[in-house]
Amino acid sequence: MITKTIEMPEVSRCDASVCAYNSENGCRARAVTIGDGAFPGCDTFLGSGRVSATESAGVGACKVAGCKFNAEFSCKADAIIVATASAPPACQTYAI
């Protein structure tokens, strides 16, 4: 396995308690992907049993080109919050 260190924004909180990567409002996926081009939904959301990942998640990619934090499909926010204010869970840091 190759180990790489990559700087990326942290998922500082996730309110999607039914997501397999959620543990006490923290995301434990290695990295999340946000968006489908227009809607800032969490594409990494997995609605099944718990995953035993232990890392804090970062934003690996953002496909929402209209977000002010998007630079060449990379998120430049310091951190993001994912919440269930909409379905599916979405990035609440999204801004135009």
Contact indicator for 19, 45 with CB cutoff of 8 Å: yes
Evaluate if residue 79 carries a pLDDT over 70: yes
Q: How large a percentage of the chain has pLDDT more than 90?
A: 66
- Average pLDDT on 29-35 reads 93
Return the pLDDT at 80.
97
User: What is the maximum span of the chain, computed from C-alpha positions, in angstroms?
Assistant: 38
Residue 39, Ramachandran bin (φ over 0: left; ψ between -120 and 50: alpha; else beta): beta
Q: Report CA Rg, the chain.
A: 12
Return the pLDDT at 54.
66
Nearest to 43 by CA among 25, 24, 29: 29
Domain range annotation of the chain: 10-91
Q: How many residues are present in the chain?
A: 96
Residue 24, Ramachandran bin (φ over 0: left; ψ between -120 and 50: alpha; else beta): left
Split at pLDDT 50, 70, 90, the class of 77 is: very high
Return the pLDDT at 53.
67
Per-residue pLDDT tens over the stretch 42-73: 999 998 777 766 678 999 999 999 999 999 99
